[in-house]
């Protein structure tokens, strides 16, 4: 099984593009800090960088709500690609094809960048009359401990 789970920060704003077949793909890079510090004197943790590709609706949401510096959770299969850089050196790049992306930066810390606001939840259909009235207290029902079966 090839699945990686990462939590990191975006190194730059995501880029959204469309393939000739009409599919949207969003590309961004995240920096994932390592737990141990090799340069403890300077206080700079080591980081690994992963390129991430998110397709279709997931990619469109990433492009709309993410920005440089935001913290994200990404999961999906990882591939390693090699290429020759401008200096003639062979380099490797890790790329994750995102199956799931969760936005972890709290709204209170996001400021005005991108003006993040989650889509409004779909309206719940009204309960049929046979179910009675909706419970009070935010959807929770008070239960006496003696009524519990355990």
Average confidence (pLDDT) over 80-102 = 90
Separation between Cα atoms, residue 21 and residue 15, nearest integer Å: 18
* The domain made up of 4-110 is a member of CATH 2.40.50.140: yes
Q: pLDDT tens digits, residue range 101-117?
A: 999 987 666 554 444 44
CA angle 15, 35, 63 (to 5 degrees): 15
Length of the chain: 150
**Segments making up each domain of the chain, as ranges:** 4-110
pTM value is: 0.64
Percentage of residues in the chain having pLDDT higher than 90: 51
Within 13 Å and on the Cβ side, how many CA atoms surround 95?
Answer: 13
Average confidence (pLDDT) over 116-122 = 43
**Whether residue 3 has pLDDT greater than 80:** yes
């Amino acid at each position: 099984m090839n699945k990686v789970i990462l939590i990191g920060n975006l190194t730059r704003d995501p880029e959204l593009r469309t393939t000739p077949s009409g599919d949207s793909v969003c590309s961004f890079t995240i920096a994932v800090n390592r737990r141990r510090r090799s340069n403890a004197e300077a206080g700079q943790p080591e980081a690994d960088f992963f390129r991430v590709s998110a397709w279709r609706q997931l990619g469109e949401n990433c492009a709309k709500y993410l920005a440089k510096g935001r913290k994200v959770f990404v999961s999906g299969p990882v591939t390693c690609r090699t290429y020759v850089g401008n200096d003639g050196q062979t380099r490797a790049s890790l790329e994750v094809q995102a199956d799931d992306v969760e936005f972890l930066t709290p709204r209170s810390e996001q400021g005005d960048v991108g003006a993040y606001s989650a889509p409004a939840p779909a309206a719940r259909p009204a309960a049929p009359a046979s179910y009675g009235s909706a419970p009070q207290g935010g959807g929770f029902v008070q239960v006496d401990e003696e009524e519990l079966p355990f």
